[in-house]
Amino acid sequence: MRIRGLLVAPLVLAGCAGGGHATPKPQGVYRATVRDPAHHAIRTVWLDAATDRFPVRTVFQGIAGAGRAVTVTVYDGRTATQQLAGSRSIRITGSPQFVADRAGTDVVAPVRAKLTGSPLPHGVSVFGFRRLRHVGAALFRTSTSTVTGTIRQVTAGGPPGNVSAYWLGSVWRGTRAASASESTGDAGTTYQTEYPGLDVTVETSGGAGLGCDGTPVRLADGSPATVVVVPINAQGTGQCSSSSDGSTTGLMVFSEDARAGTLAYVIAGNVVISLSGRAVTADSAAAIARALRPV
């Protein structure tokens, strides 16, 4: 389970059974409504099957303290934007694969699966799937609103911008870092490095922590830290607690697959390092934390 709640399911087109020719790529623009397993989000997806462009309108509901929230994300084949409330807009830049992934390749995956007759991700529902007869050019046009945040691809291990970044090195458990990104916005700057099965996301806490019990560790550079492990259930929720005052902190993540997982938060001073992915378990979190080093 990844913190951003997305599980990538790329489309693979198989060859014909007897002729040795590749199956022609589907054509046309398709529309469908996708519900996540926990019904936290309802997404209307439009997919250009020939070019892989897509816009997605997402309605988040049942979010504590936020109520109903709506976002519109558009990937035009090169760049992507995510329109938030009012005129707020996030621009995503990098390689086409990176941009599509951050925009929501995995969110669109159920529509691709429906198009090709492949199995849907576990627990995901698709409604109203159909091919559109007429589509305006504006459907795939990215937002022109003032950019209030950015997500940009950076070189893994490169000098970070305005955040004290940590990672696990260029190679972790025999695998190389797949990609890295730096995000800016109202909440500050976030630095993320992706490894196969593991995302490491670093942000500044501003002095506010989770307030939950954790395990003391030392990072690879000797910095003291605390690891807080939070089991996440199939509904995408979890909680941690404090034995000192009896308080409980609840968490919610959004996933396209109804499977339980584990998140871990490594708190080192005013920096919070989030660990997510299938490599993170209650037993492995502290060991991963001890391998973290400054970028």
Q: Please say which residue of 113, 128, 147 terminates a domain.
A: 147
**Same domain? 175 vs 134:** no
164 forms bridges with which residues in the sheet? none
Name the strand (E) or helix (H) holding 191: strand 188-195
Reported confidence tier of residue 8, pLDDT bands at 50, 70, 90 = very low
Instruction: Note whether residue 135 is domain-resident.
Output: yes
Crossing angle of helices 96-103 and 105-116, rounded to 10°:
90
CA distance 273 to 165: 9
**Same domain? 184 vs 115:** no
Instruction: Note whether residue 23 is domain-resident.
Output: no
Question: Where in the sequence is the domain holding 161, given as residue range(s)?
Answer: 155-294
Please determine, for residue 165, whether its predicted confidence score (pLDDT) is greater than 50. yes
Closest CA to 34 of 90, 106, 95: 106
Closest CA to 178 of 192, 195, 160: 195
Q: What amino acid is encoded at 162 in this protein? A: N
Q: Please say which residue of 79, 114, 147 terminates a domain.
A: 147
Higher pLDDT, 36 or 171: 171
- Across residues 239-264, what is the average pLDDT? 72
Residue 291 is classified by DSSP as T
**Same domain? 165 vs 142:** no
Q: Give residue 53's pLDDT.
A: 95
Q: Give residue 15's pLDDT.
A: 27
CA distance 224 to 144: 44
Q: ∠ CA(281), CA(174), CA(202), 5° rounding?
A: 55
Q: What amino acid is encoded at 147 in this protein? A: V
Reported confidence tier of residue 158, pLDDT bands at 50, 70, 90 = confident
Q: Give residue 62's pLDDT.
A: 60
Q: Give residue 87's pLDDT.
A: 66
Please determine, for residue 2, whether its predicted confidence score (pLDDT) is greater than 80. no
**Same domain? 234 vs 120:** no
**Same domain? 42 vs 114:** yes
43 forms bridges with which residues in the sheet? 34, 58
**Same domain? 63 vs 85:** yes
Please determine, for residue 4, whether its predicted confidence score (pLDDT) is greater than 80. no
42 forms bridges with which residues in the sheet? 35, 59
Q: Give residue 255's pLDDT.
A: 54
Q: Give residue 16's pLDDT.
A: 30
Instruction: Note whether residue 91 is domain-resident.
Output: yes
**Same domain? 206 vs 169:** yes
Q: Give residue 164's pLDDT.
A: 79
**Same domain? 114 vs 34:** yes
Exposure letters 172-188 (e unless 16+ CB within 10 A, then b): beeeebebbbbbbeeee
Instruction: Note whether residue 245 is domain-resident.
Output: yes
Instruction: Note whether residue 16 is domain-resident.
Output: no
pTM: 0.79
Longest dimension (CA), the chain: 69
pLDDT tens-digit readout, 18-43: 344 455 667 899 999 998 776 678 89
Instruction: Note whether residue 17 is domain-resident.
Output: no
**Same domain? 166 vs 279:** yes
What phi-psi label fits residue 216: left (phi over 0), alpha (psi between -120 and 50 degrees) or beta? beta
CA distance 182 to 159: 11
Instruction: Note whether residue 18 is domain-resident.
Output: no
Distance of alpha carbon 285 from its chain centroid, rounded? 19
CA distance 95 to 99: 6
N- to C-terminal Cα distance for the chain? 24
Q: Please say which residue of 147, 164, 191 terminates a domain.
A: 147
**Same domain? 234 vs 284:** yes
Provide the domain count of the chain: 2
Residue 130, judged by CB atoms within 10 A of its CB (0-12, 13-18, 19+), counts as exposed
**Same domain? 103 vs 161:** no
Closest CA to 255 of 43, 47, 97, 69: 43
Pairing of strands 29-35, 41-48: antiparallel
Instruction: Note whether residue 98 is domain-resident.
Output: yes
**Same domain? 276 vs 192:** yes
Highest mean pLDDT among 76-90, 125-139, 183-197, 199-213: 125-139
